[in-house]
């Protein structure tokens, strides 16, 4: 019987890659261009997404038979990527189409609303 890897926490390599990418973004853009509040927010978001995606992946792969884990993983990745593309397109359109102050606020409000809906659906599914 094959033992499944522990997916409950990001690996050391994943955390190292996150730190490297954050430093790369900051070095490329420079601190004069990007506000430190934005860097802090994106850092928290990145860590949160890393923790959530890891837990969701572990739950998904733990709920299917080992013979079906490749299919489940592929479908999950395809849907996650599609959702990411549609989310970036939607929020980018909102942000570009509105004034900078209202566009950013509208984008965050819609994102928070979607998170609340998904959380409620996940809680109802239990």
pLDDT of residue 7: 56
Domain ranges of the chain: 1-63, 68-126
Residue 58 CB neighbours (<10 A): 16
pLDDT in tens, the chain (126 residues): 556 655 555 677 777 877 887 777 767 666 555 567 667 777 888 888 888 888 888 888 889 998 998 999 899 889 989 988 888 888 777 767 766 566 667 767 777 788 788 778 777 776
Question: If you write DSSP's letter for every residue of 26-79 in order, what string do you get?
Answer: HHHH-TTTS-HHHHHHHHHHHHHHHHHHHHHHHHHHHTS-GGGHHHHHHHHHHH
pTM (whole model) above 0.75? no
């Amino acid at each position: 019987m094959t033992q499944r890897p522990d997916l409950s926490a990001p690996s050391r390599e994943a955390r190292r890659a996150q730190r490297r990418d954050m430093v790369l973004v900051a070095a490329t853009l420079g601190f004069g261009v990007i506000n430190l509040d934005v860097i802090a927010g994106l850092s928290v978001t990145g860590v949160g997404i890393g923790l959530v995606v890891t837990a969701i992946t572990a739950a998904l792969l733990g709920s299917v038979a080992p013979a079906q884990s490749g299919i489940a993983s592929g479908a999950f990745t395809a849907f996650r990527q599609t959702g990411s593309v549609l989310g970036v397109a939607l929020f980018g359109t909102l942000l570009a189409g509105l004034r900078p102050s209202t566009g950013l606020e509208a984008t965050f409000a819609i994102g928070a609303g979607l998170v609340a809906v998904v959380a409620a659906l996940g809680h109802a599914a239990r």
